[in-house]
Structure 1
Amino acid sequence: MTRVLVLNSGSSSVKYRLFDGRRTLARGLVERIGEDGGDAADHAAALRRIMESVDLDGLAVVGHRVVHGGTEFDSATLIDDDVAAVIERLIPLAPLHNPAALSGITVARKLLPEVAQVAVFDTAFHRTIEPAGITYAMDAALAERWGVRRYGMHGTSHAYVSRRTAALLGLAPEAANIITLHLGNGASACAVRGGRSVATSMGMAPQQGLVMGTRSGDIDPTVIFHLHRAAGMPVDEIEHSLTRAAGLLGLTGDNDMRAVQRRRQQGDPAAGLAFDVYCRRIKEYVGAYLAVLGRADAIAFTAGVGENSPEVRAAALSGLDGLGIAVDRHRNEQIAPNERGEQVVSPDGSPTAICVVPTDEELEIAQQSVAALGAGQSAR
């Protein structure tokens, strides 16, 4: 077995999980870093606390989740000074995420100088999308100069869930067409053909696409111009509004789908509209990705909302029976999952299986880190 420490460093938290092969030896979360009364004064103190609390004997590699790898990285990569410099250079494309990941990488390399460090990029899985699927119809020179294109996010989740969905259905991943719906506070859709991403909803940053907890998802760019010119709002204020105060929060005052559903059941019109907007957007992407794929063997729901909201699953796919897409009400509401928590919730014989497949991004990061370590060692 290979022992792997996975670190997911946020701006004020570090989530960790220690693996021995597929087995989890330890896991936890250090929160409110740098805040009064928080768990640690800074990321260095947080990582020291983690490393003092877990058994690192025989540790082979540390795997770091990094949101944005730009066009430079198409797979998990052993970290050296050059790789760290590129991650830093890409901060403008992920200003809320890459700085935290870089902090975790910097501290971990200092505390564990003899242990290999690997960066696993959310964007890497989507590097297989063809140019027509990543190119925005704008001034080509301007886009090239500033890196404006679709990159996509949640790649580790979409990769893991698409493979597990194929396995659940007894299909070879290289022969399966699967639409994965990662529905959490952040949300994205992905069309996977033969184990490769061919379309995804997030764009240059984690803002485009589906409605999210606090992000608007798709919106007419003219809205930004209008708010700047007519309302006199500075660009920074508009950005904050669309990324931190939009989505479910902007429509209802709640960013948690559980609260929105409770209010909807109580007859709250704002919650009812937000639920409908949320589910309609999912349905629109499912339809688009059916067109891209030509057919879908399965549609897989994952992450907090996808795994735990039968109401969202049913509403997002309602009215698609003519396309061979249907949710079985009893199976959807009375889930009887396998040992991995996976379940098919469509009727028997449906052309497109509807599945609930819990994601495991930490396990995917661990496995990709081991693969990168092996590739790096063999390259030497």
Structure 2
Amino acid sequence: MKILVINAGSSSCKYQLFNMDDHTVLCSGVVERIGQDMGKLSHKLAPGTDKEEKIVRERCFPTHVEGMEDVIALLLDAEKGVIKEKSEISAIGHRVLHGGEAITAPVLIDEKVKETIRDCFPLGPLHNPANLMGIEVAEKLFPGVPNVGVFDTEFGMSLAPEAYLYPLPYSLYEELRIRRYGFHGTSHKYIAKATADYLKKPLGELNSITMHLGNGSSMTAVQNGKCIDTSMGLTPLEGLMMGTRCGSIDPAIVPFVMEKKGLTPQEADTLMNKKSGLFGICGTSDMRDVHASIEKGDEKALLAFKMLVRSIKKILGAYFFLLGRVDSIVFTAGIGENDELVREAVCEGLEAFGIKLNKEENRLRKPGARTISASDSRIPVLVIPTNEELEIATTTMQIVEGCQK
């Protein structure tokens, strides 16, 4: 079975085509700058292997339709194509940001599901409209092929009311559905299953803490295989300090700054989402640049690094108390998988809590899941690469096969 995974943005569309017989990626790519004067299509054959080949085409893509038409042409290309006809694609899996409380599991997309996605536009104004556009483009270009929605908020739907409600007037929850939803759910769900497999432990018995650290970062406490707390909230702004997002702050700061600086609500939102975090403290959102600046003696870069590590440790400690028993802590995503300095700093001084890092192992770059804790560490510290696209493809296959029975 071949599954096409699509992640549509407002001006871009990422995709991967999986052969689910062996879980290999046949091709992947992204269409960028859709709607601009000049767009770009980057297409990789056999990505991540020694046979990887990249094809780049530049032209104007007025809409997502034209972009995906070019993708289909590459899939079917006589010389470089990976399928002979569109009918080889059994289903299409879509990453969708927000399903609200109405969608609590992956679902076969129909008109009712699309209406729910549309209803969640206010909760995901940047992503949900683009995600719906991607679905409608797929329906047009692949008529009759089933589409499955995999929602970023799904994993957080197992939260108890005391975990998802904010201490605001209850009427705000009833009227506006203001609550903690959590994001990066597809990644956290994939990592929970991968951690259980790695530890050879049933998922239903796993207690673990996942740290998805990248330009956007979140942490999740997993108890008996289910999410019981997650650091992101109503939006992806809450929680950890991130690349350009402030994370959790005193909420009174917002009206104070708006009044003193004369900001509109939209300008205040931009300040917190795009001008804060690492970028706001030291002028860069890329951890590689932060490290380079630290080596040059930049005090603000060092401060940003320390603030990031502190925000991770605070939530890590809180999750230990919530879980009681912790089977593992797991680093994943761009920073989590590749930044040994962040991992070392996060684990530093935690020996009394059963966490002891193997510094030599931590500094090595190795593919796949691995243990970076010392042999006498009571709690395993793991690095497990996330694969949200494979999780979407696997889920899509399961949904489609279930509907065929």
Task: State the secondary structure of the residue aligned to 1:290.
Answer: helix
Task: State the secondary structure of the residue aligned to 2:316.
Answer: helix
In the alignment of these two chains, the number of paired residues is: 374
Specify the alignment match of 1:11 in structure 2.
Answer: 10
Find the aligned partners of 2:296 and 2:224 in 1 and give their Cα distance.
43
Whether 1:345 and 2:372 are equivalent positions in the alignment is yes
Task: State the secondary structure of the residue aligned to 1:148.
Answer: coil
Task: State the secondary structure of the residue aligned to 1:92.
Answer: coil
Tell me if the contact between 2:92 and 2:145 (Cα under 8 Å) persists in the aligned partners: yes
> In the alignment, which of 223, 227, 230 is matched to residue 253 of structure 2?
223
Find the aligned partners of 1:304 and 1:376 in 2 and give their Cα distance.
35
Specify the alignment match of 1:236 in structure 2.
Answer: 266
**Any stretches of 5+ residues in structure 2 without a counterpart?**
41-60, 76-82
Tell me if the contact between 2:231 and 2:239 (Cα under 8 Å) persists in the aligned partners: yes
| Counterpart mapping for 1:266-285 below 5 A | 266-285=296-315
Specify the alignment match of 2:65 in structure 1.
Answer: 44
Tell me if the contact between 2:357 and 2:377 (Cα under 8 Å) persists in the aligned partners: no
- Residue type of the alignment partner of 2:201: L
- Alpha-carbon distance, 1:336 to partner: 4.1
Specify the alignment match of 1:376 in structure 2.
Answer: 403
- Alpha-carbon distance, 1:349 to partner: 3.1
Moved more, 102-111 or 366-375: 366-375
Find the aligned partners of 2:105 and 2:9 in 1 and give their Cα distance.
21
| Counterpart mapping for 1:205-354 below 5 A | 205-337=235-367, 341-354=368-381
Whether 1:85 and 2:115 are equivalent positions in the alignment is yes
- Alpha-carbon distance, 1:183 to partner: 0.7
Find the aligned partners of 1:119 and 1:72 in 2 and give their Cα distance.
13
Whether 1:136 and 2:136 are equivalent positions in the alignment is no
Specify the alignment match of 1:31 in structure 2.
Answer: 32
TM-score, normalized by length of structure 2?
Answer: 0.90
Specify the alignment match of 2:57 in structure 1.
Answer: none
Moved more, 62-71 or 36-45: 36-45
Find the aligned partners of 2:403 and 2:87 in 1 and give their Cα distance.
22
Task: State the secondary structure of the residue aligned to 2:221.
Answer: strand
Displacement over 4 Å in runs of 4+:
none
Task: State the secondary structure of the residue aligned to 1:143.
Answer: helix
Task: State the secondary structure of the residue aligned to 2:39.
Answer: coil
RMSD across aligned C-alpha pairs, in angstroms? 1.2
Specify the alignment match of 2:214 in structure 1.
Answer: 184
Find the aligned partners of 1:360 and 1:113 in 2 and give their Cα distance.
28
Find the aligned partners of 2:39 and 2:129 in 1 and give their Cα distance.
20
Tell me if the contact between 1:3 and 1:61 (Cα under 8 Å) persists in the aligned partners: yes
Q: Could you report, residue by residue, the CA deviation over 1:126-184 in whole angstroms, capped at 9, with x for unpaired residues?
A: 11111111000111012211110000001110011121122222222221211001111
Q: Could you report, residue by residue, the CA deviation over 1:28-50 in whole angstroms, capped at 9, with x for unpaired residues?
A: 11112122221222211111122
Task: State the secondary structure of the residue aligned to 1:219.
Answer: coil
Identity %: 42
Specify the alignment match of 1:62 in structure 2.
Answer: 92
Task: State the secondary structure of the residue aligned to 1:17.
Answer: strand
Moved more, 153-162 or 40-49: 40-49
